[in-house]
Structure 1
Amino acid sequence: MGSDDVIAIAPVEEKGVNEDASGHSGDDVEKKGGADFPELKRRLKSRHLQMIAIGGTIGTGLFIGSGEALAKAGPAGALIAYIFVGTIVYSVIQSLGEMATYIPIAGGFTSYATRFVDPSLGFSMGWIYWFSWAMTYALELTATGLIIQYWNQDLSIGIFIGVFWVVVTAANFLPVSFYGEFEFWFASIKIVTIVGFLIFAICIDAGAGQHGYLGFHTWGNPGAFAPYLITDNDALAKFVGFWAVLIQAGFSYQGTELVGIAAGETENPRKTVPAAIKKTFYRILFFFVFSIFFIGLLVPYDNKDLLSAASNATASPFVIAAKLAGVKVLPGLINAVLLFVVLSAANANVYSGSRILVALARDGSAPAILARTTESGVPCYAVAATAVFGLLAFLNLSNSGGTVFNWLQNITAVAGFITWACINGCHIAFMRALAVRKISRDSLPYKSMWQPAFAWYGLFFNVLIIITQGFESFIPWNTSGFFAAYISVILFVVAYVGHKVVMRTKFVSSVEADIDTGCLIHDTTTWSIEEPTTMWGKFWAWLS
């Protein structure tokens, strides 16, 4: 059975539907008058889009970083923090979904900022988001070497940084359907691993391990909440622990917004994007919340291995839980899965970074050459510009991999919160533009819930977390920690102010907001959906 048998979405060939007067194919993302180069192609299927969102989110933040969250906040504190950030992410996804289904363009949300709010916001938002993905690419390449060192400490991480840089970069020069297929199978491995761990955790907690029945014993000893930093006020110390975990939770959830980036290259966005928006978050929340919950049941927050500086399986709370249960075979297996996790994340880094560059170039905020694509729809220059920053991973040969991991993780997480805040803000402006033109939101392909209150909720807490997330550097003062916490904010502000001064841009009024270019209702392409007939096909259709 071919992979397309799972759920095939194909254009219905009708005269005048899939080809315009200039002869452009109906799978072009946009048909630009006068363009002398090919466009991105709509070749991602529903199952691809679904797994891109899941695969881009479930990564080192969950498999490794969640251990630090447990150590700082305790099992209950970490669980509440992940649920709370999950509600913020849900508000972002709802906001993004409404805009991305109405105007599904590549790298969409940077263009939304330019068109609905302020060109300077689109400029700064796009570049800080691209910066975070480019830097994370170097992080993930470093992690591949550290993971393989788990089996052989004598091997230099530089070998694997070079090898995997070539492999991942080359993969991103293939048509986008190959990227979607890679992510589909990589994400499948992640999902199977997490489901397997949840089953394992239930069995161990029920008494299958060497210590017998565990129940909620870790919530009693050492406790449900961990005190952090503050020593003279226990209640405040526990709240500080909870608040400190928010940035870690944000790093874990980052990547959910990839649905908006991939929307411009997705077949039948009328159906696939709303489906991905509706389903993806619930599954991610299921995987994250239940994983954090069971990790908290099996591993006490004072376990010294949770704060290990390692970036391989030895620092994973999944592995620590297996060791405490007396299971010896799981660490090597988890480490192997971590390698797939990191490669999947690295693949997503280059993909998302390159598409953001395409959007910036089309908005005039980046060199025009970055928008050029090959005949197969690959933005080769944007891919190359993003991939080259992965070579910064070689700097880690003279530094501690764990230290670099923590720095880049914090920088990336804050950039994620900045992006989420901007998406909420863009949606508020989008709704105002619709209201001014008397366009009912009931007529949209996808109408998000609880608006505009939900968008304001997400905007408020995203901004609050951005402002307060670096509080640890003040207790006591730590210059290095301060810059690690706020470098993304500083770069964002400098980019915004610099662009505003140089370009003399003005805020976009609701009347002038461009909600027409790329609008879905102008896309006359029609699609047919072939339902799967086999049991295997139906299973994957459920996932997508």
Structure 2
Amino acid sequence: MDDHERSHQIRIPGPTKTVENTLERSPPRSVSDIEKQGPPATHELKRNLKSRHLQFIAVGGTIGTGIFIASGSSISRAGPAGALIAYAFVGSLVYSVMISLSEMATYIPIASAFTRYAARFVDPSLGFSMGWIYWFSWSITYALELTASGLIIQYWNTNLNIGIFVAIFWAPITLANFLLVDLYGEFEFWFASIKIIALLGFMIFAVCVDAGAGRQGYIGFHYWKSPGAFAPYLLESTGAKAKFVGFWAVLIQAGFAYQGTELVGVGAGESTNPRKTMPAAIRKTFWTIFSFFVLTIFFIGLLVPYDNEDLISSSSNASSSPLVIAAKLAGVSVLPGLINAVLLTVVLSAANCNVYSGSRILIGLSEEGFAPAFFKKTSKRGVPYYAVAFTAAFGLLAFMNLSNSGGEVFNWLLNIVGVAGFIAWSCINICHLCFMRALKARGVSRDTLPYKAMGQPYFAWYGFVFCVIITFTQGFTAFIPWNTTNFFIAYVSLILFAVLYLGHKLVTRSGFVDPLAADLDSGRFIEGTEVEEDDQWGPWRRTWDYVF
């Protein structure tokens, strides 16, 4: 039996019986069929993550310095209206990605879901290149967040060495990822809740200040009129072209801020009841992140003029946060320290999610044969200790910032992070299009799926086209004027992705997946094994479900 046939093998309960799922011996099965599985030979991930855990893991990995700090430069580049439109538009692209992911993750809820779908439905080389660059982006982001934690603490004492806090925070965050997955989920639930409370508090504060509670008096939409709703960027003129360039620059920046929303799909293989949990978690995750991002950008644009010099500060602590700038303009002096403390929890929560996500992606790569087999080994309680340890080790790259030459290398590595998200979004939409093609080839109606997303395949095409356009144009500032170094910095991730793809293609000689041969069975959830979620959260959980 060759590897291709072995990958389609279905195990029937019992010690010896096996049936090969070839096209000749097994007719297309309906969605209601149950995947037959025997006793596992090794320990596996445990399905202990509840809907709120999945949501807050994604929220914790997405809501970070991108909205708390970098949103200020978005306002300065495009103006309040330009930035608001950019964030809303990118949000619509993320929506297309999330509903595409929802159909597949509900049908086949496996660890590191979307990186494995690429290998199953599109092309093994695509799954290999997408999985590795996505894993690398999160492992490097872990080092970035550890670095940011040191910079944030330097706000209180500039004499402190960043390396001290890299070491202090690396150990407990890494250890947290060795906890049982449900305990990890609880840990991240409360960590990410701080971010949500902070943003809600800022919105209430913004409403009061805009209505006249600050020293500026009533503001309303004054800053939308003077200096204006749209800001020119890069070009010497102040006309429509310069304002469009500003909008496009923020479009790219907004995409970086949204990256991580798709992380809710990484935990599909550990969810308690995928048919019920996954659609709810994906839907609530998207609307939570989208609403917080758009509303935060809207209120910042009301309180801070786009020509405020503090918005373009290079600092990474509270002094450059638009939330703090808004408070200073309103005459409130007690917020900077509080915001800086919140920022610390923000980056630590994001770092926590980085290790979790990276380790689960490694499991998916290992399951597909794209990484060493030992990465998928877990403890008796379902902790993938090898994958966690290997991913966490890359956080130590943060120590490179202690030397000037190491800092330059580190900055080059960080540029891989930005575009990796756009590559992942493009691939998720392509995976869904090929998933639908495989269902059609096998005679399975989408009406019989556990969850059927609306507007498909149109949303998938919409998201794919614009994500590809943004991916190839995200380094346009290197052309105005031309800068060779900036060009390679902007496109190093695309170059790496191409090298991984072509390298795997040349070595394996793999072809594109035939729709009839696409693996629609391995990893399908067994009906009747659902675990009911507890109701211990009472009013808080019901309020959350009602609002989102």
Q: Same fold (TM over 0.5)?
A: yes
CA offsets per residue over residues 484-518 of structure 1, 9 Å max, x none?
Answer: 21111111000000000001100001111111111
CA offsets per residue over residues 349-384 of structure 1, 9 Å max, x none?
Answer: 000001000000110001111111111111111111
Letter of the 1:65 counterpart: A
Q: Is the aligned partner of 1:46 residue 2:54?
A: no
Taking a change above 3 Å as real, the CA distance of residues 346 and 150 of structure 1, as seen in their structure-2 partners, is: same
Aligned to 2:5: none
Shift of 1:114: 0.4
Shift of 1:223: 1.1
1:228 to 224, 233, 237: 233
Shift of 1:37: 2.7
CA offsets per residue over residues 171-195 of structure 1, 9 Å max, x none?
Answer: 1111111221111001111111000
1:134-145 alignment runs, 5 A limit: 134-145=139-150
CA offsets per residue over residues 186-225 of structure 1, 9 Å max, x none?
Answer: 1111111000000000100110000100111111111111
Partners of 2:544 and 2:406 in 1: CA distance: 37
Shift of 1:480: 2.9
Aligned to 2:120: 115
Partners of 2:98 and 2:284 in 1: CA distance: 11
Q: Is the aligned partner of 1:94 residue 2:88?
A: no
2:530 to 509, 526, 529: 526
Letter of the 1:87 counterpart: S
Aligned to 1:441: 446
Taking a change above 3 Å as real, the CA distance of residues 266 and 536 of structure 1, as seen in their structure-2 partners, is: same
Partners of 1:297 and 1:146 in 2: CA distance: 28
Shift of 1:540: 5.1
Letter of the 2:419 counterpart: V
CA offsets per residue over residues 411-444 of structure 1, 9 Å max, x none?
Answer: 3221100000000000000000011111111111
Partners of 2:156 and 2:69 in 1: CA distance: 17
Q: Is the aligned partner of 1:365 residue 2:370?
A: yes
Equivalent residues of 1:309, 1:403 under 8 A apart: no
Shift of 1:535: 3.3
Q: If the length of structure 2 is used for normalisation, what is the TM-score?
A: 0.91
Shift of 1:134: 0.8
Partners of 1:304 and 1:406 in 2: CA distance: 25
RMSD of Structure 2 on Structure 1 (CA): 2.1
1:398-417 alignment runs, 5 A limit: 398-399=403-404, 410-417=415-422
Shift of 1:483: 2.2
Aligned to 1:321: 326
Equivalent residues of 2:400, 2:406 under 8 A apart: no
Partners of 1:88 and 1:361 in 2: CA distance: 30
Aligned to 2:539: 535
Equivalent residues of 1:47, 1:541 under 8 A apart: no
Aligned to 2:484: 479
Equivalent residues of 1:310, 1:402 under 8 A apart: no
Shift of 1:250: 1.0
Partners of 1:58 and 1:197 in 2: CA distance: 14
1:455-534 alignment runs, 5 A limit: 455-520=460-525, 522-531=526-535, 534=538
Partners of 1:31 and 1:149 in 2: CA distance: 56
Shift of 1:399: 4.2
Partners of 2:489 and 2:415 in 1: CA distance: 7
Equivalent residues of 1:532, 1:541 under 8 A apart: no
Letter of the 1:148 counterpart: I
SS at match of 2:179: coil
Aligned to 2:197: 192
Letter of the 2:87 counterpart: Y
Aligned to 1:82: 87
Shift of 1:527: 3.5
Letter of the 2:84 counterpart: L
2:307 to 295, 298, 302: 302
Partners of 2:531 and 2:448 in 1: CA distance: 20
Higher alpha-carbon deviation: 198-207 or 226-235: 226-235
Partners of 2:85 and 2:408 in 1: CA distance: 27
Equivalent residues of 1:62, 1:252 under 8 A apart: yes
Aligned to 2:152: 147
Equivalent residues of 1:214, 1:298 under 8 A apart: yes
2:180 to 156, 175, 181: 175
2:255 to 247, 250, 266: 250
Aligned residue pair count: 518
Equivalent residues of 2:122, 2:513 under 8 A apart: yes
Partners of 1:58 and 1:483 in 2: CA distance: 28
Q: If the length of structure 1 is used for normalisation, what is the TM-score?
A: 0.91
SS at match of 1:98: helix
Shift of 1:247: 1.9
Letter of the 1:333 counterpart: L
Q: Is the aligned partner of 1:279 residue 2:284?
A: yes
Shift of 1:543: 6.8
1:379 to 377, 384, 401: 384
Aligned to 1:125: 130
Partners of 1:119 and 1:245 in 2: CA distance: 34
Taking a change above 3 Å as real, the CA distance of residues 148 and 390 of structure 1, as seen in their structure-2 partners, is: same
Aligned to 1:290: 295
1:352 to 357, 363, 374: 357
Partners of 1:139 and 1:489 in 2: CA distance: 20
Letter of the 2:252 counterpart: I
CA offsets per residue over residues 67-93 of structure 1, 9 Å max, x none?
Answer: 111111111111010001000000000
SS at match of 2:532: strand
Partners of 1:530 and 1:389 in 2: CA distance: 36
Specify every segment of 5 or more residues in structure 1 that has no aligned partner in the other structure, as ranges.
Answer: 1-18, 23-29
Shift of 1:534: 4.3
